[in-house]
Structure formats: C-alpha cells, structure tokens
Amino acid sequence: MEYIWIQTALVTITCILLLIFARSKPETPPSRSASKVPVKFSFKDEFKNLIHNKNYVILALIFGCLYSNTGAMSAVISSVTKPFGFKGADNAIIGSVFIISGIFGSFLGGFILDKQPKFKRSVICISIIGLLFYGCLMLSLETSNLILVATNFGLIGFTVVPILPISFAFAIELSYPVPDPMSNGMMLLVSKIYGAVLGIAAGFLSKQSAYYAILLFVVNALISALCSFFVKEDLRRLKMTQ
C-alpha cells in the first residue's frame, strides 16, 4: 500500500509540473516538414485504407498478439509464479529484469534496423524467438529457481519488447501515405483492447492452473510466428523517397 501511495504521489507531482511548465509547441519547428501547414485528413477514408491494406492488417495481428502478451503477463505474473513458491519480492525482481531487458532489446533492435532495414526478417526473428522463450517458461518455473526464471523473463523482454518500435516503423512503411499517428495509433488501440481481454482470460486460466495461462501466451506467440511469414515487405515510403 505504501508503494502505491508513493507511486501515485510521484505521478501526480510530475503531471502538475508538466501542466504548468510544458509548452504546447516549441518556439521554432523542429524540422522543415514540421513547419508546413498540416494537411487535414478524413478518419473514415484513412481507416478504410488501413483495413484494406492486407500487409498492414497482418502486421497489426502480429503486433497485437506479441504486445498484448507482455501486458497480460505483467497483470497475472503473481498468479502464474505463486504456485511455484515465488513471493512478492521475487515478482518485483522478475518484473524489473523484464523491463530493463526490454529497454536494452529495443535500443539494440532499433540500431540494427537502422543499419539493415530488414523489417520482415526482424519480425520473423522476434516472433519465433519469443515463441521459444514463452515455451521455456513451462520448464523454468518448475525449477522454482529465481535466477533461472528471472533470466527467462529477461530473455522474453529482450526479444519481444522490440516488436513495439520495429512494428511502428514497419507500419509506417506499409501504410504510406496514411499519416503516421493514424497507422500506429490504430494498431496500438487494437492491441490494447485485445490485451485487456487477454489479461482477463489469463487471470481466469491461472486460477485453474498456471500452465493454462502460459499456454495461452504460447498460442499467441505461435499465431504471431505463423503470420510473420505472410506479411510482405512493401516499403512504400522508402520507394517514394527513392
């Protein structure tokens, strides 16, 4: 309870300072494109463009399954680890390792993508490796070894969390000329809704058996891995630039 109060106080103070001191926009545009007058777009028309874009829809499915897994896993981690003797302090360590590993994985994934813009290959690798490490949870949890389980979660974070920046960049390429906020926002919105449903389902299954909840995550990762082979690397924006 003390942790919740401290967290709430920090967030509240930060938001108040942000509202008081943050500007709505910079004094000068950050780039040449930002200095141009924004073009109005029709939400209805752009939405139609997205849902008729087969590659974008497949990518949204891949992203939704993997990204929702991370959110749902965070919500039920205590229920999943409790049957194997892990306590609250252990879950805090596991969660910290997961988050920190995800941050480093995202940085590395973005760096590699800048050097070699192979979006489809990156998505395939993330999906398959993520599927492997989710499956390993069934073995590592049985050992009740904190180091082994934390390492397993760390590997999941390192390999799966980078799906966020990579999918955002890939979605912009696939959906061009649909505005970036529209393509990324819709993909994130759908994943959040699905993540909430997935969290409820995982919570219900974890009451029956922790293995059922893990199996649900494995199935989601499997769907992502299978779909990743069908998305085409149609880099529209890059082609237009060239």
- 54 within a domain of the structure (yes/no): no
- Is-above-0.75 flag for pTM? yes
Structural domains counted in the chain? 1
Does 233 or 91 have the greater pLDDT score? Answer: 91
If you search the block for the tokens 């981690």, which residue do you land on? 77
CA distance 225 to 228: 5
CA distance 83 to 209: 9
What domain range is 101 assigned to? 59-241
pLDDT exceeds cutoff 60 at 159: yes
- 78 within a domain of the structure (yes/no): yes
pLDDT exceeds cutoff 90 at 76: no
Q: What is the DSSP letter of 177?
A: T
Q: Domain containing 129 — which CATH number?
A: 1.20.1250.20
If you search the block for the tokens 């994985």, which residue do you land on? 105
pLDDT exceeds cutoff 70 at 41: no
The pLDDT tens digits for 118-141 are 888 888 888 999 899 998 988 888
Which residues does 7 contact at the CB level (< 8 Å), separation at least 6?
A: none
- 166 within a domain of the structure (yes/no): yes
Residue type, 198: L
CA distance 48 to 36: 26
